[in-house]
Structure 1
Amino acid sequence: MNESAKHETVLDTGALQLGRVYAQALIGAAMKEGVTDDAIEQLGQLVDDVLSQHPTLASVFASPRVSQEEKSRILDSLLGDKVHPVLLRFLKVVAGRGRLGYLNEIRYSADELKNEMMGRVVAEVRTALPLTDELRQSVQQRLADKLGKDVVLKETVDPQLIGGLVVRVGDTVIDSSVAGQLESLSQRARDGLASKLIANADSFASGS
């Protein structure tokens, strides 16, 4: 399994529960028309490419002082024929219930539900340095062997991380034996990078 979830999210548990309810409704409606993948992908694009880049619009969606009618008008103007009608109708329902401020949580839960439907599990991996392609594949394979499922990695780089690597699946931190194996991989990757940096510095200093 070579897929990796790129979005990084810190979400409130209560908000996630609400998001999951709405995500289930979206997936249910999308499945009836055979557009589940499209609906989830387009929701992700709305969150990542539009709302994250235009915080004023996100604030309008979340504001209780902006009417349902105005929010629906904005959705029509913004999305129109750019998204599948199933998603547009869903967003208008969410707007009508005053929940457009939870689109991030709904999107997150929709991704999780899709992974569950496909027999995949999301593993959150925090590392001190970005994973290389080789290390990413090794981490995915070892986790897949441990969990007995295909694994999607949600990667976060934290330079302040002590120990180099933390792996979490749901509320569970992977046990020390597997985490230790992955940490060993991570350490070798850091050592390799350090060696290259030192070699480059030596080359620069010698003028070669």
Structure 2
Amino acid sequence: MRGISRTSLAEVTRRLDSNVLASVDARGALALGGELFEVVALLSGEHSLRRWLADQSTPAESKTALAGQLLEQRVSPSALIVVGDVLQQDWSSARDMVDALERMGVYATLASVAGGRLDGVEDELFRFQRIVAAQPQLRAALTREGVPAATLRSLVDDLLSGKVDPATSVLVGEAVTRPRGRTLEQALDHFGQLVAERAQHFVAVVRAAHLPSEAQQDRLRAALSRKYGRDIHLNIEVVPELIGGLSVQVGDEVIDDTIAGRIAEVKRRLAG
């Protein structure tokens, strides 16, 4: 988000933390996240309503009054507070407004994680994304059109129940059933990035022919932290085809020091 939306996002995040999440337990936070995702689904399916609520010329009191009428019997008072906070802010577009609500849903869900250890959720989302990429039949089952959302959620529960943090299971369920125009992989990556933002660090996707040792990971993490001026979380993917070396991606920047990458570069130069 940029401009006025970025300012508004910072304000609704501050209010979420100080006015709502400070007074709910883990179970309440997980329930709140689910309610906010339901509101996102409602607004995503109602184009005219979404545009009216995002219109800066519409009085904030009118927006919150309508939201109260629509949602009072469907969500908790805490969810109404968060929705009201979002609607009272100005947004550059209706999409930014709904994105902000989705982000509040993610943040509320993450508030349920024991001890605030978000690294585990990041790792679980990344591993599930890699599993989906490596198993076309699983991906097909999770993305098949016309399958009821309840059926897909049941499949996700069967796959993940008792194996991952409940917050991870919720986020995977959202990525599968309500990707909002993203592919499944894009939705999982998007949620992973939001987890990283909430944890206040960057994510480096490391591809290596062999799993780096703990000492090597520590050195790489320290070097990247110095380079980018922020804590770095490593998501490591073992790719034997790389032969040796490492490929590191942080955001849009890729550092390729693999043997396969060097060979490809030599071939390009010879061909050119």
Indicate the structure whose relative CO is greater, using CA pairs within 8 Å and at least 6 residues apart. 1
- What TM-score comes out, normalization by structure 2 length? 0.39
